[in-house]
Structure 1
Amino acid sequence: MGNGNGLSRGDRNRNARLARLRALVPVNNAIVGIDLADRKQMVVVTDHDSKVLARKIFRCRAWDLGVALDWAGQRATAAGFAGVTVACEPTGHRWRVLGQLAADRGMAFVCVQPSMTSWSRRAEDLTCDKTDEKDAVLIARLTAQLRCYIPEPVDETWGRLRHLGARREQLLVDMVSQIQQLRSLLECVWPAALDTARQPFRSRTWVAAMSVICDRDNGDLTRTRRLGSTRFEHAVRREITRRGGQKPSLRITRNLFTALGDPAGVIAHRRGALERVQLLLGDWAENQRRLTDTETRMINVLNDLRLTDLVTSITGLSGVGAAAILAETGDPTRFATARALVKHAGLAPREKLSGAFTGRTKLTGQGRPSLRLAAWRAVWGAQRANPVYAARYQHLTGRETNKLTPTQTQAAIAATILRHLHAVITTGQRWDPQTATHDTRPPIPVAA
């Protein structure tokens, strides 16, 4: 495509996006702005100048809004419009129900970001009033200005992956919370136990030994001390085997047995605190089992989508890490460019240029925080195992000009992982390190 008219690539992408939106918001359609709530739904019908043609409050749940859409369609037809475009804010789950109701009636459906409504509310009349009536009109006005977006299409398989990703994230949050509680309790009543291993909560031996101690003693550590070191090691070995391991670390086991005689800590609270530790260890083990099951289900969804081989071709990116990212992005093919996906994660740079002034470039931080977190987690394994990412890290942190900090570089690598994921899925080609480094030269033949 030529560039004789002076249009940049960004101009062309924006024009294409506006054309897609205009197809959903044609000038011969009225706009139905809906401010969704639990039992009160504010519905307005406007033209493209945001003149209100009809307004009505429906006292119903979101899944009963079909009556409201039928009413809006009748009002639009009476005003001379060929159809309607339904618009709302994507808050909670109700917008998905509304989108399904609109699709059942052949009505176009778009969403308006709540942040856009908030900014427009302040610019409306400088009062910052927030009412359902005003918000519905603002939603319709922003839609007429094409300050809206096309929501993610409904797909059963991708929807399942999104829900599994949300469950995995909740399990991770719960497990981190349980680890923090375990650490706090032991620091209070038995701090010596935390010093018996370098990373106690990552040690299978330490967790198994703590389970043996808490299950036997009920807060009285002298019972395990009377058991003796040898019998204690045998009990820990049985617990390790029960958990699917092979053999314990004798160093950690002996350190824990020695720590049984340490008097440090609030002894009066030891019995109750260790009972809580016992319960938390059980909850933690159950969440680990649930996490493993959830991640297995996510891998199975990737297999159903036939994406496992593509995404794991990126060296250092595991199937679970890729599934966690894709659970937040949805189908990457809905993004016209890889940069659009990076913007969706809030990992795109925000430039500050005006005349001769050049400000400091930062990340936008907008978009989907959970996607940004999933990409950030994927960096740690990929950066060490992937030679392309490792070389990029060394280059960005070691160059003389515009040197980046390690954290900034990791954010750049997270954005690179998103771009590479978009590329391999949309093209259907496996990740290639030569292509990833923008080396278009043909491979050098190897002599026989």
Structure 2
Amino acid sequence: MKFKMQDKQNQLIERISDSHLVVGVDIAQELHVARAVNFRGIIVGDPLTFENNEEGFAKLLQWINQLKTLRGFASTIVGMEPTGHYWINLSKWLYDQDIEAVTVNPHLVKKNKENRDNSRSKSDKKDALVIADMVKNGYYSFIRHSSETFEKLRVLMSNRDMTVKRLVSAINQINRWVDIVFPELRQVFKDVKGKGAMATLRLFPTPLELRSMKAVDIVEGWKSQMKRQPGIKKAQALIELAVHSVGTRQALEAYKLHLEQLIEEFDLATVQLERVEQEVTSLLKQIPFARNLLAIKGISEIALAGILGESGDLSDFAHGNSLLRHAGLHLSEASSGKWKGQIVLSKRGRSRLRRFLYLATMSLVMNNPDFKELHANNVNVKKMKKMKSIMKLIHKLARVLVGMARKNDSYRSEKIQSISPIAA
């Protein structure tokens, strides 16, 4: 049976009963603001401003309990915007207090600001009230609380992303340095970040130094940096190129200092990346269904760790479509009367999860015979555009991953062709 978004919306609204105290919290770095309404949207109590610490959270709990006692509410639901990272501690604290916490989409909060007073005015108190209204109208999402292992994966993969950015930045700047000071280096070493090129840049980076050296001395220097080093011919070619180099001859000492710092950054990022990836590999071994998923030809440890870090336990999802919605890969349509707009991806979800699902699917299309065949059939027989075929296969991959995780089943090639596509 196909899932309808309207059914979900009705269920979210029906969950809010007349016994619920609905609280909206406007999140900030230091001071949060809370407002409360009942299930009809009638304001309950006065606004509360509380600090982003344990004392402030206790103040919020006391305020909630007082309102529940005075007005006879039995349950509480607290809504908040996932603003940066400031909301995370409050949501986990509420979870520990057995108080249901949900999130609302910041984009929708902005669009609903005028519902209360038909005004474009903005304040923390008004935002908190708008959030409370959205929760009682069913415009909220549940917070997926991950276990320790999945939380570690998410932190490590976020750390890995930052480390990769630093590493790529260092490599790009080293390439720029070579273009300015010694562009002929690439005639000997095609890859500037390779061992031979990096050893040369560490020991004798400028053409001025190389001109006065002998080939034997260069080879000896390489031996101190590498187990397998280039031979005498490359060393001689390097000297000849240095003699006729068109690289700059000004401010060489400053350029050398800059290069030393870039190489230090390159080395540090490389070591940190290796350490993070070792931790990721160790964590994947602790997840029961991860071994079966890694057995799929084309699924790498990094891609799987990225998916699990952002999604959490895949066995908690009811269907692959739930995973797609969590990633923002469900479809969105705009139409009015006779006008039919283009159907596009909503992108209202976790961007890192979308990226890793896409990368994993691309790897499967290149390395997995089943996905390679499906992609070829989509493009050649069904005449789909390549990107449309890839998006369709992402949906298939989501269903495969969730199905295998829920059943703790192994990958079976014959079942891939039998999975019927379901609209996300």
- 1-structure distance, mates of 2:344, 2:163: 31
CA RMSD, Structure 1 to Structure 2 (Å): 2.9
In structure 2, distance between residues paired with 1:186 and 1:236: 19
Shift of 1:258: 4.4
**2:402 alignment partner in structure 1:** 422
**1:4 match:** none
**Structure 1 residues 149 and 427: alpha-carbon distance in aligned structure 2, compared to 1, 3 A threshold:** same
Equivalent in the alignment of 1:238 = 224
1:35 maps onto 2:22 in alignment: no
Residues 400/336 of structure 1: CA separation in 2 closer, same or farther (3 Å cut): closer
Where 2:243 maps in the other structure, the secondary structure is coil
Answer whether contact 1:35 1:135 (CA < 8 A) is retained. Answer: yes
Say if 2:328 and 2:349, in contact at 8 Å, map to a contact too.
yes
**For the structure 1 residues 375 and 122, does the alpha-carbon distance in structure 2 shift closer, same or farther, using more than 3 Å as the test?**
farther
Query: Map of 1:341-352 to 2, 5 A cutoff?
Result: 341-351=323-333
Q: Any residues of structure 2 matched to 1:375-394 within 5 Å, and which?
A: 375-394=357-376
Return the match for 2:160 from 168, 172, 178. 168
CA contact (8 A) 1:192 1:259 kept: yes
Cα contact 1:197–1:252 (8 A) shared by 2 = no
Measured in 2, the distance between the counterparts of 1:303 and 1:312 equals 10
Q: How does 1:42-191 map to 2 (within 5 A)?
A: 42-63=33-54, 64-191=56-183
CA distance in 2, matches of 1:126, 1:197: 66
What letter is aligned with 2:359? R
The size of the alignment, in residue pairs, is: 419
| Other structure's SS at 1:267 match | coil
Equivalent residue in structure 1 for 2:2, among 2, 9, 22: 9
Give a deviation string over 1:108-155, Cα, whole Å, max 9, x none: 221112122112125555543221111111111111111111101142
Instruction: Answer whether contact 1:315 1:382 (CA < 8 A) is retained.
Output: yes
**Alpha-carbon distance between aligned partners in 2 of 1:251 and 1:355, rounded to the nearest angstrom:** 75
Aligned-pair CA distance for 1:355: 7.2
CA distance in 2, matches of 1:344, 1:252: 54
Distance in 2 between residues matched to 1:321 and 1:153, nearest whole Å: 21
Secondary structure of 1:305's aligned partner: coil
Question: What letter is aligned with 1:233?
Answer: V
Alpha-carbon separation, structure 2, partners of 1:20 and 1:257 = 73
> Is the contact between residue 211 and residue 239 of structure 2 (CA under 8 Å) also seen in structure 1?
yes
1:431 aligns with 2:411: yes
Gaps of 5+ in 2: none
Query: The residue matched to 1:65 in structure 2 has which SS?
Result: helix
Residue 230 and residue 378 in structure 1: after superposition, are their counterparts in 2 closer, same or farther (change >3 A)?
A: farther
User: How far has the Cα of 1:187 moved from its partner?
Assistant: 2.0
Contact kept, 8 Å, 1:375 with 1:415, in 2: the verdict is: no
Report how far residue 413 of structure 1 moved: 4.1
8 Å Cα contact 1:66/1:101 also seen in 2: no
1:125–1:56 Cα change, 3 Å:
closer
- Structure 1 residue runs of 5 or longer lacking an equivalent are 1-7, 441-448
User: 1:173-213 CA deviation, whole Å, 9 max, x = no partner?
Assistant: 11111122122222223222245444433x33322332232
Report Cα offsets for 1:338-362 as digits up to 9, x if no partner: 1221233233344456777655443
CA distance in 1, matches of 2:91, 2:6: 25
Distance 2:372 2:240 in 1: 43
Do structure 1's residue 316 and structure 2's residue 316 form an aligned pair? no
Q: 1:354 to 1:26 in 2, by over 3 A?
A: same
Question: Which structure would you say has the larger RCO, counting Cα contacts within 8 Å and 6 or more residues apart?
Answer: 2
1:268 counterpart SS class: coil
Whole-angstrom CA distance in 1 between matches of 2:417 and 2:236: 50
Q: CA-to-partner distance for each residue in 1:6-58, whole Å, 9 max, x for gaps?
A: xx5213x76467547755x4431111111122332211121012211112332
For residue 214 of structure 2, what is the aligned residue in structure 1? 228
* 2: CA distance, partners of 1:400 / 1:256: 54
- Using the size of structure 1 for normalisation, the TM-score is 0.83
Distance in 1 (CA, whole Å) between partners of 2:136 and 2:65 is 17
Residue aligned with 2:51, SS: coil
TM value normalised by structure 2 = 0.88
State the one-letter code of the partner of 1:166. S
Identity over the aligned pairs, expressed in percent? 20
- How far apart are 1:253 and its partner, in Å? 6.2
- Whole-angstrom CA distance in 1 between matches of 2:322 and 2:232: 52
**C-alpha offsets along residues 247-302 of structure 1, whole Å, 9 cap, x if unaligned?**
55888766655433342233214442233122212211221111111011011111
Show the counterpart of 2:377: 395
2: CA distance between counterparts of 1:55 and 1:237?
A: 75
2:333, 2:164 → 1: CA distance? 34
CA distance in 1 between partners of 2:236 and 2:341 (Å): 58
Structure 2 distance, partners of 1:170, 1:272, is 28
